[in-house]
Amino acid sequence: MSISRTNPMMAAAVVAAACFLAASPRVSRSDDSEPVPQNVESAVDRGLAWLAKSQDPRGTWEGHAGVGGWAAASTGLATMAFMARGHTPGQGPYGDTLNHAIDAILALQQPDGVIAEARQGEVMYDHGICTMALCEAYGMLDDARQARARIAIGKAVRVILNAQRVPKVGFDNGGWRYTPEYTTADMSVSGWQLLALRGARNVGADLPRQAIDDGIAFIKHHVAQGGGFSYTAGSGSNAAMTGTGILALSLLGEPDADEVKPAGDYLLRNFNNLRGEHYYYAAYYCAQAAWQLGGNYWTTLNRQITQDPDGLIQKQKVDGHWEGSEGGDVVCSSMAILALTVPYRYLPIYQR
């Protein structure tokens, strides 16, 4: 059963598997790409070489053992990192690396549709990231893998829509948290689910309008004092959540919403002061948010990410990886690469 556009309220209640186009065009670099400095390109390529060497025999990448495993999330992020540089499954120097990764993500899907190493812990992080990775890879896959991915994405989207419909209170409505059954929500987990839904729509998923509208309302309810976005409604803003909010609104069709420009101004004032354990997460989201905003927002934030003494280029280790506590070195390295490759415009989700 597919989701109907003609009766979105009923479709949201039923929340059946998404309906996909029979085929998807191969992905190519968009016309609005811009030159990438040699030092950035070199950093990205060294990081990808380190990731390729770090992939385990089953095609996954290990995450931080203390954060629910994170093998699924690590694998999804690493997969997108290669594709963001223009590498495609089955072709070129990392063709086998990516095919093994896609097979691993498909194999991680649980009987109920959740994509995670096991049905425990903070699985919605894994699930949203891996769903997004499958959607981004969909148009690049061979026919057999694309057919498997179509089924997997349909099941995964159903999980996301069902989890959004779990009754919540107040401003948590329309969002998501750690497991599909959670009755509260936060900006971080919700951001990944909304990106996954946008990715699914890009490859032909027929989504209920109500799900998108509820997601937009959730984001807007998380504006905090100073113009940024907060992790939970009523809490303080930070750069990572502000980047998440800007990107979500931009990709869900509201780039000119009243909340977007003040949030961009908040990033200009606060990103350079970012410290602590969420630097890579913030860099990932803020780079994409700044690209969506364009102009001085992009120029300024990209310069801070790539040129500042505490920026991503300077944080890279000699062997090519980035080190941090945000899910482990694979997660940090993948997010760093994804932040640096925004100007390449290879991934569909990166398009303006």
Q: Look up the CATH number of the domain holding residue 122.
A: 1.50.10.20
Q: What percent of the chain has pLDDT over 90?
A: 75
Residue 20 resides in a domain: no
pLDDT single digits (tens) 37-80: 899 999 999 999 999 999 999 999 986 443 445 789 999 999 99
Instruction: Please state the domain count of the chain.
Output: 1
Residue 19 resides in a domain: no
CB burial of 19-37 (b: ≥16 within 10 Å; e: otherwise) equals bbeeebeebeeeeeeeebe
pLDDT at 71: 86
Q: Is the pLDDT score of 1 beyond 70?
A: no
Residue 151 resides in a domain: yes
pLDDT at 340: 96
Using pLDDT thresholds of 50, 70 and 90, give the confidence band for residue 262: very high
pLDDT at 308: 85
The pTM assigned to this predicted structure is 0.90
CA 166/CA 174 separation, integer angstroms: 9
pLDDT at 161: 98
Residue 28 resides in a domain: no
Query: Which residues face 229 on adjacent strands?
Result: 223
Q: Is the pLDDT score of 284 beyond 90?
A: yes
Query: How many CB atoms are closer than 10 A to CB 91?
Result: 13
Residue 220 resides in a domain: yes
Q: Is the pLDDT score of 246 beyond 70?
A: yes
pLDDT at 10: 28
pLDDT at 36: 82
Tokens of 36: 């990438």
Domain extent, residue 51, equals 35-58+65-350
Residue 317 resides in a domain: yes
pLDDT single digits (tens) 287-320: 999 999 999 999 999 998 998 888 899 999 999 9
pLDDT at 329: 93
Residue 206 resides in a domain: yes
pLDDT at 2: 33
pLDDT single digits (tens) 72-113: 999 999 999 999 999 999 999 999 999 999 999 999 999 999
CA 136/CA 133 separation, integer angstroms: 5
Query: Do residues 115 and 109 touch, judged by C-beta distance below 8 A?
Result: yes
- Mean of pLDDT over the chain: 88
Query: Do residues 331 and 297 touch, judged by C-beta distance below 8 A?
Result: no
Residue 2 resides in a domain: no
pLDDT single digits (tens) 141-189: 999 999 999 999 999 999 999 999 999 999 999 999 999 999 999 999 9
